[in-house]
Each structure stands twice: as structure tokens, then as C-alpha cells.
């Protein structure tokens, strides 16, 4: 029993010292002074939590080296907001563990543990909420481009699945339609951003249009690699679902939303659109005798 308790203390201590090192490294790289200050405060707070657990344990556990090394490196790709909030995802479980542990530790340590619980519940969340990052401000425009592209272009490909056996025609058509739609979506984002003086209209338009067209290219790629329409469509749809899952998870972490619900809605809309356009394409193919066409 004593070994189990020590293992629990050790796990908490290792988590806290790992997060201390991560926040410390993130603070060193941060140029925004307000963000730097928040990260430094988070770092000091995690260090004090580590000292509590190591004191309770009677030893100084080492951090999770791989996490401490890799996480700061991912900052340049995913941004500081995503990285910090990803680290804090487990805090609800930690708080429950800490509260359950209160009655089992000595009176001399209970006050400090109560303070740690309060830190986890409010102070850390307040520091994280204060982080400001440009990429987060434009996340909505990226989501607009990516989500619309996946739904619309998967629908285009599904329609051609019912019309022709040519993967080349389906792929090229998707790119042509997607290029036109990317310009249209960028224009819509431009007009939308004009209503918000804090956002750059040019950056909003470019973010939406580029994210849309890049999604189009990824969705079209299977049609240039595979010569069977059904196989190409399945692979393209899987690419679309993977993109939706990745971006939905990113948004769920940053904005603290429910991942499964949002992902199910997006994937369901994509599959429904694909099914509807497939039947329309099949009907058009039969009416105009295009079903067997192959070029």
C-alpha cells in the first residue's frame, strides 16, 4: 500500500517538474511580454507544486525527459496556446485525485495541497486565458476554409463517382472547382473581416483561401495516384476525415470545447453531402448515359 502511495506521489511530482521545464522553455522563446510573464508565472507555480510532492515523497523525481524535450519544439508548429492548454487537459482528473487525497495526508501538508487545488482550479486557468496569439485570432478563418473545402470537394468527388469511371477527370474537376471556391471563400472572409477593426482583411482572406485550396489539393491527390474510382474516393474521404479530426481536436483544445461532438457533426455533414451528391451524380450519369464513360 505504501509503495502505491509513493508511486502516486512520484507520478504527480514528475508531471509537475516536467511542466515546469516546458513552461520555462516556452517563456524563453516567447517575444510577447505579457505571454512571457504568464508562462514564467506558470513555470514558478509548477515548480512549487513539484517541491510539495517531492517533499511529501522524500526524494527528487526526474521529469519525463521526452515530453520536456519535445513539447517546446512543437510550439513553432502548433503555437503556444495549443501547447499550454494541451498540457492542462489532465488537470480535471488531477484535481479529483488531489481532493480524494486530502484526508490521507498529514495535517501539516493539507493546507498546501488545498492551495495547489485552488491553483489548478482558478489561477492556472486565469494565466492560460491571458495568453494572446495571432494564429488563434485567425483560427476561425482557417476552420472556415478547411471545413468548407472538405465538405464541398468531397461532394464533388462523390458526384463524379456516380458519373464516370475516370479518376483523372474527378481529380482535375475537384481542383478546378476548388480553386474557384477558394477565391470565393477568400472574398467572403475579406468582407467579413472588414467588420472587425482588429483583424487584417488581407490576412483573413489569404488564410481562408489558402487553407481551402491546400485542403482541395490533399483531397484530390488520391485521384492522381489510384486508377479505381471507388478506391480513390475512399482514400480521399479518409484524408478528409483525418483533416477534420486533426483540426477539430486543435480547436477543441484551444477553445476548450467537446471534441467528439464537434467532430461527429463535421464528419456527418461531410458524409451526408457525399451521399447526396453521389446519388445526384448517378442519376445524371444514367440520364445522359455517362456511367460507363472513361477517359
Residue 293 has pLDDT above 60, yes or no: no
Per-residue pLDDT tens digits for 50-69: 999 999 888 999 999 999 99
128 burial type by CB count under 10 A (0-12 exposed, 13-18 middle, 19+ buried): middle
What is the per-residue pLDDT for 10?
Answer: 93
Residue 295 has pLDDT above 80, yes or no: no
109 burial type by CB count under 10 A (0-12 exposed, 13-18 middle, 19+ buried): middle
| 82, 88, 90, 95 alpha-carbon torsion, rounded to 10° | -160
Model confidence at 294, pLDDT cuts 50, 70, 90, reads very low
CATH topology of domain 2-134: Ferritin (1.20.1260)
Look over the chain and give the mean of its residue pLDDT values, rounded to a whole number.
88
- Smallest CA-to-CA distance from 242 within 263, 216, 272 is with 263
Domain with CATH 1.20.1260.10 in the chain: 2-134
Model confidence at 2, pLDDT cuts 50, 70, 90, reads low
Per-residue pLDDT tens digits for 266-289: 999 999 999 999 999 888 878 877
Of 122-126, 185-189, 227-231, 265-269, the least confident:
122-126
- Report the 10 Å Cβ neighbour count for 177: 17
What is the rounded average pLDDT of the residues 192-205?
87
Q: Quick one: DSSP state of residue 63?
A: P
Question: Which pTM does this prediction carry?
Answer: 0.83
Amino acid at each position: 500500500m505504501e509503495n502505491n502511495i509513493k508511486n502516486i506521489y512520484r507520478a504527480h511530482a514528475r508531471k509537475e517538474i516536467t511542466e515546469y521545464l516546458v513552461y520555462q522553455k516556452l517563456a524563453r522563446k516567447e517575444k510577447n511580454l505579457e505571454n512571457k510573464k504568464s508562462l514564467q508565472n506558470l513555470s514558478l507555480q509548477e515548480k512549487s507544486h513539484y517541491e510539495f510532492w517531492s517533499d511529501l515523497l522524500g526524494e527528487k523525481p526526474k521529469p519525463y525527459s521526452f515530453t520536456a524535450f519535445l513539447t517546446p519544439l512543437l510550439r513553432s508548429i502548433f503555437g503556444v496556446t495549443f501547447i499550454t492548454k494541451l498540457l492542462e487537459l489532465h488537470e480535471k482528473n488531477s484535481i479529483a485525485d488531489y481532493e480524494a487525497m486530502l484526508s490521507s495526508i498529514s495535517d501539516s501538508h493539507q493546507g498546501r495541497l488545498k492551495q495547489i487545488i485552488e491553483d489548478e482550479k482558478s489561477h492556472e486557468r486565469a494565466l492560460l486565458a491571458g495568453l494572446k496569439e495571432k494564429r488563434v485570432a485567425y483560427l476561425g478563418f482557417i476552420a472556415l476554409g478547411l471545413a468548407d473545402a472538405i465538405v464541398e470537394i468531397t461532394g464533388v468527388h462523390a458526384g463524379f463517382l456516380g458519373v464516370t469511371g475516370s479518376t483523372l477527370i474527378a481529380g482535375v474537376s475537384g481542383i478546378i472547382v476548388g480553386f474557384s471556391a477558394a477565391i470565393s471563400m477568400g472574398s467572403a472572409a475579406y468582407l467579413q473581416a472588414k467588420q472587425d477593426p482588429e483583424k487584417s482583411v488581407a490576412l483573413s482572406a489569404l488564410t481562408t483561401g489558402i487553407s481551402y485550396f491546400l485542403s482541395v489539393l490533399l483531397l484530390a491527390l488520391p485521384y492522381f495516384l489510384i486508377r479505381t474510382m471507388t478506391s480513390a474516393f475512399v482514400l480521399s474521404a479518409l484524408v478528409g476525415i483525418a483533416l477534420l479530426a486533426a483540426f477539430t481536436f486543435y480547436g477543441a483544445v484551444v477553445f476548450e470545447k467537446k471534441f467528439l461532438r464537434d467532430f461527429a457533426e463535421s464528419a456527418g455533414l461531410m458524409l451526408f453531402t457525399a451521399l447526396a451528391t453521389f446519388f445526384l451524380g448517378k442519376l445524371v450519369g444514367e440520364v445522359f448515359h455517362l456511367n460507363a464513360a472513361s477517359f
